[in-house]
């Protein structure tokens, strides 16, 4: 009983602490973020009685799911280990063991909102309040997979926050529902489109930080890996494929032997056969010939950024200078671990579409 009381007091203290910083930039709005991703306008944080609430569906990023029972005005948040039930009429809540909690959910803007600090504490997450600089504050929910610190995230998200701030106050007072994504036709080199587009592939096995960043922005890319990388890291290969990314083979000298070994390792790990092949420019002709003879597709890399590139601006400036479409090849490594969130934030803020890579690029 004492432990439960202590946990409750701590939760109240955290809620009071985060509430004390409401609207620190006097903009009147507060965004919600999950790890290194700024959520859409429809998921903004609201304050009721000084307590921060977010849509319960936000937590699906961390495999914590919301189910709303309209007939009884009750909601359930759950994962594989824990459940919490909210009665929206009485304001009561309890778990699957019948333990009562003095915490309430609310129904607003057609969604179930839950107290963010309490829910984070209940499901083993964390959250922080980031003071804005004129275009809104941020309540940031984290699970330890984030790459950027809070100040770095605020800096990276500044452009997107400004755009959404203007959208929010320029269209309607109510929080708008995000429109369905538009499927854009794939551009060609001969007829570039005014709509910015980019294709991205990575050379080398990714770190979990790279995969987490891509997950946060819902961006799918292609990873070209060597036979040794595929053999040594089957778990990463499975995660790449399971996250919706493509996998290709990176050959360094002899495609005849390298492709077979890599394809076998990839199939053993993920039960798929790669059809994309790439290589350094020095052996591109040999690999192209091998791919054509065996029914594979050779991917001629676009602008290659090696693993010693220190700044994200090196990549974003290339995108900004492109007209319509650009193909990027990014080497994995520690620098890319740090730079990728900034690159993806830039792509999101400029509404740039990330397209699947094409077999050839000239």
Fold designation for 197-355: TIM Barrel (3.20.20)
pLDDT value for 24: 55
Q: Is the pLDDT of residue 271 over 50?
A: yes
From residue 94, how far is each of 74, 91, 101, 102, 236 by CA, in Å? 11, 10, 6, 9, 38
Mean pLDDT value across the chain: 83
Please determine, for residue 208, whether its predicted confidence score (pLDDT) is greater than 60.
yes
Could you tell me the pLDDT band of residue 31, with boundaries at 50, 70 and 90? very high
Q: For residue 199, how many other CB atoms are within 10 A of its CB?
A: 22
Is 10-171 a CATH 1.10.1020.10 domain? no
pTM, 2 dp: 0.52
pLDDT score recorded for residue 227? 96
pLDDT in tens, 70-124: 888 899 999 888 999 999 888 889 998 889 998 899 988 788 999 999 999 999 9
Name the residue with higher pLDDT: 90 or 230.
230
Instruction: Count Cβ atoms below 10 Å from residue 324 Cβ, excluding itself.
Output: 14
pLDDT, residue 42, reads: 87
**Torsion angles phi and psi, residue 291, rounded to 5:** -60, -45
pLDDT score of 130 more than 80: yes
Q: Length of the chain, please? A: 362
Higher pLDDT, 185 or 108: 108
pLDDT number for residue 6: 44
Quick check: helix, strand or coil at residue 327? strand
Mean pLDDT of 151-160: 89
CA 134-315-326 angle, to 5 degrees, is 110
Based on the number of CB atoms within 10 Å of its own CB, is 173 exposed (0-12), middle (13-18) or buried (19 or more)?
exposed
The answer, yes or no, to whether residue 187 has pLDDT greater than 80, is: no
* pLDDT above 50: residue 23: no
Percent of the chain beyond pLDDT 90?
Answer: 46
d(CA 346, CA 358): 22
Scanning the structure block, which residue is given the tokens 């009983």?
Answer: 1
Residue in 49, 257, 54, 24 with CA at minimum distance from that of residue 141: 54
Q: What is the pLDDT of residues 56-68, one digit of tens each?
A: 999 999 999 999 8
* Average pLDDT of the segment spanning 242-248: 88
341-to-59, 147, 265, 296, 346 alpha-carbon distances in Å: 20, 7, 30, 32, 9
Q: What is the pLDDT of residue 26?
A: 66
- Cα-Cα-Cα-Cα torsion 322, 337, 351, 183, nearest 10 degrees, comes to 100
* Domain regions of the chain by residue span: 10-171, 197-355
CA–CA separation, 87 and 70 (whole Å)? 11
Q: pLDDT higher for 14 or 260?
A: 260
> What percentage of the chain reaches a pLDDT higher than 70?
84
Average pLDDT over residues 42-64: 90
pLDDT of amino acid 195: 58
pLDDT of the residue at 8:
44
For the ranges 18-32, 203-217, 235-249, which has the lowest average pLDDT? 18-32
Q: Which among 35-44, 121-130, 168-177, 241-250 has the top mean pLDDT?
A: 121-130
Q: What is the rounded CA–CA span in Å between residue 317 and residue 321?
A: 6
For residue 252, give the nearest of 223, 275, 284 by alpha carbon. 284
């Amino acid at each position: 009983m004492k432990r439960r009381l202590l946990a409750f007091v701590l939760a109240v203290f955290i809620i009071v602490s985060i509430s004390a910083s409401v609207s620190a930039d006097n903009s009147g709005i507060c965004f919600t973020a999950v790890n290194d991703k700024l959520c859409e306008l429809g998921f903004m944080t609201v304050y009721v009685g000084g307590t921060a609430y977010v849509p319960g569906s936000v937590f699906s990023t961390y495999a914590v799911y919301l189910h709303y029972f309209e007939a009884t005005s009750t909601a359930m948040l759950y994962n594989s280990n824990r459940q919490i039930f909210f009665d929206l009429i009485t304001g009561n809540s309890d778990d699957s063991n019948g333990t009562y909690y003095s915490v309430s959910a609310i129904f607003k803007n057609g969604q179930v909102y839950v107290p963010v600090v309490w829910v984070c504490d209940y499901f083993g997450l964390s959250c922080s309040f980031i003071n804005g600089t004129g275009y809104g504050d941020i309540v940031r929910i984290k699970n330890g997979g984030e790459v950027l610190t809070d100040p770095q995230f605020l800096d990276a998200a500044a452009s997107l926050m400004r755009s959404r701030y203007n959208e929010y106050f320029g269209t309607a007072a109510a929080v708008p529902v995000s429109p369905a994504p538009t499927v854009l036709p794939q551009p060609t080199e001969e007829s570039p489109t005014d709509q910015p587009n980019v294709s991205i592939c990575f050379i080398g096995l990714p770190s979990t930080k790279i995969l987490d960043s891509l997950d946060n922005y819902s961006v799918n890319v292609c990873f070209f890996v060597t036979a040794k990388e595929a053999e040594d890291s089957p778990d990463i290969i499975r995660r790449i494929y399971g996250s919706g990314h493509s996998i290709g083979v990176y050959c360094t000298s002899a495609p005849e032997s390298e492709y077979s070994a890599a394809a076998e390792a990839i199939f053993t790990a993920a039960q798929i056969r790669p059809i994309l092949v790439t290589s350094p420019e020095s052996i591109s002709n040999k690999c192209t010939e091998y791919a054509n003879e065996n029914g594979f597709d050779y991917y001629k890399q676009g602008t290659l950024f090696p693993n010693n590139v220190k700044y994200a601006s090196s990549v974003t400036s290339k995108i900004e200078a492109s007209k319509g479409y650009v193909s990027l090849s990014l080497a994995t490594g520690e620098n890319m671990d740090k730079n990728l969130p900034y690159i993806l934030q830039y792509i999101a803020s400029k509404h740039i579409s990330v397209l699947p890579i094409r077999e050839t690029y000239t």
